[in-house]
Amino acid sequence: MKFILFILGLSLSFSLVDIEKHQKMVNFINKLRTTWKAKVYERDITNLVGTRHETEKMKLPEKKAFTNSNADLPTNYDLREAYPQCETLREIRDQSTCGACWAFSSAEVMSDRLCIHSGQKIQTRVSAAHLTTCCTSCGDGCFGGYPSSCFDYWKRYGIPSGGLYGDTTTCVPYFFPPCNDHMHECTDYQSTPECETKCQEGYPKSLEEDKTYGKSSYSVRGEENIKKEIYENGSVVGTLTVYEDFADYSSGIYQHVTGSYLGLHAIKIIGWGETEDGIKYWIIANSWNETWGEKGFFRLLRGVNECGIESSAETGMPKL
């Protein structure tokens, strides 16, 4: 039996994934031979969709002017290739069973931009754990939040470093262990830990000394403006509407086919491309472990506002 709680756009599940239901969905999707392939995962993702609808007051100012506004952008562009020394661009984090996608995607974009705008020298991992537990204005920890507020928080208060679970080289690493597809102990939903006011034992800096800061925070809207922003400044946080079939994504270019609405999910957009058949897509990093999708990444249909991805993207510039 499955118990689901819906709260402010966040869907939480307290049982193992319904294998039989998803197998029928996978069979249906693969029989259609659409732009993507599906498979059944044992990990339930419904408790990971934790982005909330923003009020008008919370929305970041929209950026409309771009340096290369009239330049022809490449057909294919991947930040991992453009900035090969930026380790965080190739890194897939794991939010475990905590609805903190809003904090993860934001921290990942901040980390990427610190590296990109320092000439690929700064390799700091901005702490998703700190955002999840300490930024009360950003949301409600594992129960969902707002990426836009994260960039304002970075600008106002700063954020310490924080890597993956068990990392000893950063100030506030993530607190929950990763959940690959076969780790059933990761099915129980996690409550939000307390905010840490100091770095982990053995780390050489104080939390305040370790912080990085943002210089600006803003949003971009529409396919072309999102492309321009990525090309000029780096990755952005995107928000997509998630349906049940997204949980079964294995490879290819995702577009919604079947299944019920689950909620909103924040991810990191790192580029775009186009197939030989002319199918356009976004290149996106998820935070559900490398065992999901294309080694943790996925591609999403571009140019038609699929799942609302082109409605708005949030980001900011680092203070160096």
By annotation, the residues acting in catalysis are: 101, 265, 286
Among the listed residues 276, 242, 254, the one whose alpha carbon sits nearest the alpha carbon of residue 39: 254
- 245 phi/psi in degrees, rounded to 5: -70, -20
- The C-alpha atoms of residue 210 and residue 182 are separated, in whole angstroms, by 36
- The C-alpha atoms of residue 289 and residue 164 are separated, in whole angstroms, by 11
- The C-alpha atoms of residue 141 and residue 299 are separated, in whole angstroms, by 27
- 224 phi/psi in degrees, rounded to 5: -65, -40
Q: Which residues contact 245 (CB under 8 A, 6 or more apart)?
A: 25, 29, 38, 256, 257, 258, 259
Helix axes 101-116, 147-157, angle to 10 degrees: 50
Token digits for 186? 């990761």
CA 83 to chain centre: 19
Strands 213-220 and 261-274: unpaired
Alpha-helical segments (H) within the chain? 19-32, 79-82, 101-116, 128-134, 147-157, 207-210, 223-233
Among the listed residues 235, 245, 239, 241, the one whose alpha carbon sits nearest the alpha carbon of residue 272: 235
